[in-house]
Structure 1
C-alpha cells in the first residue's frame, strides 16, 4: 500500500509538459517490448453472478407488457439562458456561484453536516470528539477551496 501511495504521489507531481513531452526528444519505439495477447475467458452466466451476490437475494422477475416511456419534446426556446437568469445581475464568477449555491442551499448543507456529525459522534475516532458545528461561511470557504484545487497547480 505504501508503494502505491508513493507512485500516486510521484505521478501527481509531474507537470503536463513532463507527461506529454516537450517535443524535442526522439521517440524510440524499437526498444519497446510488447507482450503477446493472452486469451482470457470470462464467464458471464447467471450462476457466476449469483455467487458474487448474497445467495439469499431473490432473482429479478421480468414482466412483459406494453410499456412506452414518455418522450419529452425538445424545444430550443426552452434551452439556454432563461429570462429569470438574465434578470439577475451576474457579472463576476462569484455571482454565478452564489446564484447556484444560495443561502438556503448552504444552510441546508450546513444543517445536514452538523446533524450527521451529531448522529455519528458515538462511533467516531478521538480526533472527531472535538467537533465544532460548521457555519455557512466556513462551508463557502470549503467549497471554494475544493473548486480551486482543480484549477491551481501545486508548485
Structure 2
C-alpha cells in the first residue's frame, strides 16, 4: 500500500513568490490592455507606477507573532521594490446612518420621467454641450467640401439636444443593425416614431459633431478624460446631491463596448464585447440602481 501524501507545505518565501507570479499572470494591465502607438502615454504610466508606494503585508504562520503596538512599520522602497509591513491590513469601516441615506428631497411621487432626467442632465449642462458642439461644428464646416453634409450644418439648441438624447435612449429599447434602419421605410422593419421626432440626416449630423470640451484647451492638460471631464464632474455632483448610498451595496464590473483609440481600452477575449472600457459599478440592491 502506498503511503498517503498530504497537501504540500510552503515556506513564507515560497508563498510570496507564488502570489507575485499569480498577480503577473492575471493582471489586466499586462494582458488585456491593447497597446497603443503613443509612447508618451506609456512613459507616463510607467512613471506613475515607479513613483507610487505599494504596501504589502507578510503572511505569518502564528497570529500571536503579530504585534498590536502602534501603526504598521513601513520599510522604505529601494530600487523599485515593494515596501513591506508586518501588520495585517485593517480596512476603514464606514458607519451606516439611515437618516442621511437613500433618496433626497429632490424627488417626489409626482415627479415625471423628464423631471428626474433633468436632475442629472440639467439645462446648464446641456447649454455647455450646445456651446461646444456648435464650436466644433463651425470649425469643421470651414474645411468641409461644399457637397458634404457638414457644410449644411445649422447651430443646435438646448431643446434639440434633449430630443437627440431622447432618441438615443429610445434606440436602446428598439435595437436595429444600423442607424439608418431606424429611419427605414420598409414595412417589415419600419419604426415611424423616429422619423416623426427628428430627420435621419439631422440626427447623424448631431452625432458626428457632438462635443463636450474646447479642443484648444486640451494642449494645456494631461487629463485623459479631458473630452468628457465636464460631464463626468457634473454627473458626480448631481448624484451626490440626489442620492446617498443604501446600506446594502454590491460592487460589480462592466465592460462597455468601445473600438476607438484610447489609452485605457482593454481586450478581454472571454467577454462578448472583447474590446472596451472597464467600469466598476455600485449596485443598490434595494432599488436595482447601477
TM-score, length of structure 1 as denominator length: 0.49
| TM-score, L = length of structure 2 | 0.29
Greater share of helix: 1
